Amino acid sequence: MVEAVGSVAVNPAHLRVSHITKRFAGAPAVDDVSFDVPKGSFATLLGPSGCGKTTTLRMIAGFYDPDVGDIEIGGRRVNDLPAHRRGTAMVFQDYALFPHMTVYDNVAYGLRVAGRPRPERDKRVNDTLAFVGLSGMGGRWPNQLSGGQQQRVAVARALVIEPQVLLLDEPLSNLDAKLREQLRVELRILQRRLGMTFVYVTHDQDEALSLSDWIAVMNAGKVEQAGTPWEIYYHPRTAFLADFVGAVNLVPARVQSVTDGGVTVSFGQHRASVHRPVDVSLSTGQEVRLCMRPESFTIAPAGASADGLALSGTIARRAFLGDTMRYWVKVDDREWIVDQPDPGATATLDGPVLLSLRPERVHIIAEQ
Amino acid sequence: MRSLRREPALLLALLAVIALVLAFIVYPQVQVVVAPGPGGYVSFLEGGTWTGPLVHSLEVMALSTTTAVLLGFVYAYAMVYSEMRWKPFFRLIGILPLLSPPFVVAAAYVLLFGPRGIITYGVFGQTPIIFGLLGIWGVQTIAFFPFAYQLIADALSRSDARMEQAARNLGAGPWRVFRTVTLPLSRPGLGAAILTTAIYIVEDFGNPQLVGGQFTVLPTQAYNLISGFGEFTSAAAVSTLLLLIALALYVAKIRLDGGRSFVTISGRASSMPRPPVPAALSWACFAGCLLLAGLILMIYGTLLVSAITVLFPINLTPTARHFTFVATGSNADALRNTLVFSGVAALVSAILALFAGWIVQRGDWPGKGILDFLFILPAAIPGIFFGIGYLTAFNQPWLDWVDRGWLIILSMVFWNIPVGYQASVAGLRQIDRSIDEAATSLGASRLRGFWDVIRPMLAGSLRVGLVTTFVRAVTTLSVVIFLFTPATTVATIRIYQLVNDLNWGGATAFTVADITMAILALVVFAALARGRLALGMARG
């Protein structure tokens, strides 16, 4: 299975991973994984811990050897190249700054190894430090920097050698939430400006959605689904995916009829006509699951008029999340998660309510 | 494995390390073990001359280990748990024996308690027979309790003070906390400490040789067989027997503490304060430590006084003649040899061990467990066995073109390599692999990454290896006793010879010079480590 990366799919693959498998003590950590990453795109491997995403990244870097499969960078097979000849620089989760070198020396290290002359080195190091917002910090020691600054040094150190592919292994996970969001934005801007190919590993779906051109969601050593953030979020192919990326209502349902444009499904006493997913075949009577995002609903006091699919229920619990109010609404025997944006704009609801949602917001998952 | 094939330089370096291990650790030892041959072993075992020394060795091991560990435990408990005064003083006194050849205790013992000893004869007018089992027991107890103290204090201080605070917080008294929390938690460490002390004692050569008299233990029998009778085959068999005992103890020790060998070095980690103990206990600890420290001071005080007086204890007129004696002629050569050999050995051993630790710890090739074991193996090899091994393997005509000093240096390098190796591995455990990988991903080969990035970060481990190896080299007798030639005599050999000649003034002056060298090395390295005190373990 070779996936093309969404919007930039016109470019030829810059990084190609073909059917790689890696076993540790017999158990496959990565199991027949393939994907292409075009030049200049931001690709993300997303998944829970132990899913094989970091192992995949480390195989690209050359720290692990795949048992089976090939890795190509810029059209050249790199399996037999040692890690330091691959043109892949890595940003590590714990930054891995050299504690006995100043910021300048850390950033200059790769250029020094490459034997670049001093004037060039100075210029490139200083330019890169300025680029990541650390001008004038070259003389500092890593332990004198904040977590965010260390992270920037780690990025600068990898960027300065102008790698073919920049590999980032959960680079933001050691930072507090606020800083993480800020650096997320900066990383994305940086990548766009440089047009460099990034392969990013994270378990944080928000990070993956907000940063990436393309996401591969991994589970148990396999790529569960790959595609644009939009596809991953709204058209997950499996229940695992739907559940892993964002909060979701997964409701068992049965296919009643299939037409060209739509599918009629039933769940409980409800019936709904929803969009037919493009790349799955459905047949009448088939068991499926409906995937509905909490924010796709409109919630109103009972008796309000509904638009599209309407469900009557009672509020069981609620949680104030700041930007949204999350309700758990009991409909028949099932609790539905429903988010109401901007809770300050309306009164907090209680008791019987009416949920409504547009049929096109319902996504059918046909796995099982 | 594939990563090695992709980096030929790394592969070459690894092969070089393996070659060194095979040549200087495996080969000489195998030579000794196989020397008697099957027939030789059979007739040796049937001859039965080994039963006496074997029983003696086990007897001495049981007795001396028990008392040394008990005294060491008192000292360690007092240092770690009590709030007694003078702790820095006691710590300093506790280090002193590690910086001296253990067998000088025997020399002091003879001066103090011998037939003409200052206490036995001088005070009580007695001329007791001090040689034999009781003599060895007493001397080894005093010589090795400071080692036991270092090992036990290390084990105790590793127990988490927060656990003890929690137990106190839950209402347990100090004794109960110690019995139900501290002891169970530090049991593996204490067990390892006891076993390590037992290894030091069972392979001790100098003390039994000087005060054992007719009471022969395995190391002294091996020595006597070679030096007295040229009975090389029997000596090899005897020392193989000794090796088996030491190996058994060592394997048991590894199972307890996972091979985290030596106490050695580096400032002890400052830990969270321990819960307070009753004042009376602190005073009892103080009294106990005062007594033990007094004993140590008496030993070394005797050596010092003997070194600066005409004829201890009969003529106590101060004189510099013994030091003049030490500083002239072949004696001065021996001192210089000690300095040069130990210095070169420390440098080579520490650097090689640092690199070996890295290449093994960071390796991902099959068989690295074997290499790891071989690098710590010398710690289990009795010095006498190691010496015989080098004698057998390298004291050969075809090596006549090599200066015999190199033989001594090499024996010191590889006998001590576990120290630096362990320090390197321990240091590397503190350095995340991502540091190595960062260097690699920035374009440095793994060797270059080691040199640029890891090596500077292991400076502390390197210092540990340097100072400990130096101190152990300066104070060892058993390893070099078969390897020296008149031109390559070292200080410990000269001390041993002078004691045998009953030249007490010369022997003690030599001892003072030797210990001073070790202390100077320690001070220099402590200064380099910016005040962090480094301790070295030495053994017979």
Spatial distance between the Cα atoms of B266 and B246, rounded to a whole number of angstroms: 26
Chain A: residue nearest B451 by CA? Answer: A113
Spatial distance between the Cα atoms of B5 and B316, rounded to a whole number of angstroms: 70
Q: Is B432 on the interface with A (CB under 8 A)?
A: yes
CA distance B366 to chain A (A): 13
Residue A3 has a pLDDT of 45
Q: Identify whether the C-beta of residue A46 lies closer than 8 Å to the C-beta of residue A205.
A: yes
Q: If you ran DSSP here, which 8-state letter would residue A78 be given? A: -
Return the HEC string of B276-323: CCCHHHHHHHHHHHHHHHHHHHHHHHHHHHHHHEEECCCEEEECCHHH
Whether residue B486 is predicted with pLDDT greater than 80 in this model: the reply is yes
CA distance B360 to chain A (A): 17
Residue A344 has a pLDDT of 85
Burial class (CB in 10 A: 0-12, 13-18, 19+), A284: exposed
Do B1-34+337-485 and B40-319 fold alike per CATH? yes
**Mean pLDDT within B257-286:** 64
Q: Which residues contact B114 (CB under 8 A, 6 or more apart)?
A: B120, B121, B130
Of B409, B422, B434, the C-alpha closest to B458 is B422
∠B179-B60-B80 over CA atoms, to 5°? 30
Spatial distance between the Cα atoms of B492 and B539, rounded to a whole number of angstroms: 12
Chain B: residue nearest A63 by CA? Answer: B437
**Selected residue of A80, A107, A113 to mutate for chain B interface (largest B Cβ count, 10 A):** A113
Give me the residue spans of the domains in chain A. 13-243, 247-365
Residue B499 has a pLDDT of 86
CA distance B434 to chain A (A): 6
CA distance A81 to chain B (A): 7
Q: Does an H or E element contain B388, and which?
A: helix B383-394
Picking from A62, A63, A110, the nearest residue to B442 by CB comes out as A110
Chain B hits for A80, Cβ within 8 Å = 6
Spatial distance between the Cα atoms of B68 and A271, rounded to a whole number of angstroms: 86
Q: What pLDDT digit, counting tens, does each position of B86-105 carry?
A: 888 888 888 888 888 888 88
Q: What pLDDT digit, counting tens, does each position of B393-434 carry?
A: 988 888 888 888 899 999 999 999 998 998 898 889 888 899
Phi, psi angles (nearest 5°) of residue A316 = -95, -45
Spatial distance between the Cα atoms of A213 and A234, rounded to a whole number of angstroms: 15
Q: What is the mean pLDDT of chain B?
A: 85
Residue B529 has a pLDDT of 66
**Is the CA virtual torsion B400, B401, B404, B406 positive or negative?**
negative
Whether residue B267 is predicted with pLDDT greater than 70 in this model: the reply is no
The CATH architecture assigned to B40-319 reads: Orthogonal Bundle (1.10)
pLDDT band of residue B487 (cuts 50, 70, 90) is confident
Chain A: residue nearest B437 by CA? Answer: A63
Picking from B438, B443, B457, the nearest residue to A100 by CB comes out as B457
Residue B260 has a pLDDT of 53
Contact B452 A109 (CB under 8 A): yes
Contact B434 A89 (CB under 8 A): no
CB pairs under 8 A between A and B: 78
Residue A6 has a pLDDT of 44
**Selected residue of A65, A105, A109 to mutate for chain B interface (largest B Cβ count, 10 A):** A109
Pick the CATH number of A13-243 from 3.30.470.20, 3.40.50.2300, 3.40.50.300, 2.170.270.10: 3.40.50.300
Q: What is the DSSP string of A301-363?
A: ETTPPPSSEEEEEEEEEEEE-SSEEEEEEEETTEEEEEEEE-GGGSPPP-SEEEEEE-GGG-E
Q: Does the pTM of the predicted model rise above 0.90?
A: no
pLDDT above 90 covers a percentage of chain B that reads 28
DSSP 3-state percent helix, strand, coil across chain B (nearest 5): 75, 0, 25
Spatial distance between the Cα atoms of A7 and A192, rounded to a whole number of angstroms: 14
User: What ipTM was predicted for this assembly?
Assistant: 0.83
**Mean pLDDT within A3-17:** 62
Chain A hits for B437, Cβ within 8 Å = 61, 63, 83, 90, 92, 96
Residue B452 has a pLDDT of 94
Q: Is B366 on the interface with A (CB under 8 A)?
A: no
Picking from B6, B432, B442, the nearest residue to A161 by CB comes out as B442
Query: What tokens were used for A111?
Result: 């250029």
Spatial distance between the Cα atoms of B181 and A353, rounded to a whole number of angstroms: 58
Q: What pLDDT digit, counting tens, does each position of A99-152 carry?
A: 999 999 999 999 999 999 999 999 999 999 998 889 999 999 999 999 999 999
Give me the residue spans of the domains in chain B. 1-34+337-485, 40-319
**Mean pLDDT within B454-464:** 89
Chain B: residue nearest A157 by CA? Answer: B442
CA distance B261 to chain A (A): 28
Query: What tokens were used for B451?
Result: 């040199």
Whether residue A2 is predicted with pLDDT greater than 60 in this model: the reply is no
**Selected residue of B435, B441, B450, B451 to mutate for chain A interface (largest A Cβ count, 10 A):** B441
Contact B2 A113 (CB under 8 A): no
Whether residue B141 is predicted with pLDDT greater than 70 in this model: the reply is yes
Q: Is B287 on the interface with A (CB under 8 A)?
A: no
Please name the fold of domain B1-34+337-485.
Answer: MetI-like fold (1.10.3720)
Q: Omega before B208 cis (within 30°)?
A: no
Chain B: residue nearest A90 by CA? Answer: B441
Q: Is B447 on the interface with A (CB under 8 A)?
A: no
Q: What pLDDT digit, counting tens, does each position of A287-314 carry?
A: 999 999 999 999 988 888 877 888 899 9
Contact B438 A80 (CB under 8 A): no
Chain A: residue nearest B10 by CA? Answer: A82
Q: What pLDDT digit, counting tens, does each position of B504-514 carry?
A: 888 899 899 99
Q: What is the mean pLDDT of chain A?
A: 89
Spatial distance between the Cα atoms of B133 and B214, rounded to a whole number of angstroms: 9
Whether residue B130 is predicted with pLDDT greater than 90 in this model: the reply is no
The CATH architecture assigned to A247-365 reads: Beta Barrel (2.40)
pLDDT band of residue B536 (cuts 50, 70, 90) is very low
**Mean pLDDT within B261-267:** 41
Of B242, B257, B183, the C-alpha closest to B208 is B242
Q: Is B452 on the interface with A (CB under 8 A)?
A: yes
Place of tokens 């050897």: A65
Contact B3 A82 (CB under 8 A): yes
Using CA atoms, how far residue B372 sits from A183, B188, B207, B414, B508, in Å, is 43, 21, 32, 14, 40
Burial class (CB in 10 A: 0-12, 13-18, 19+), A315: middle
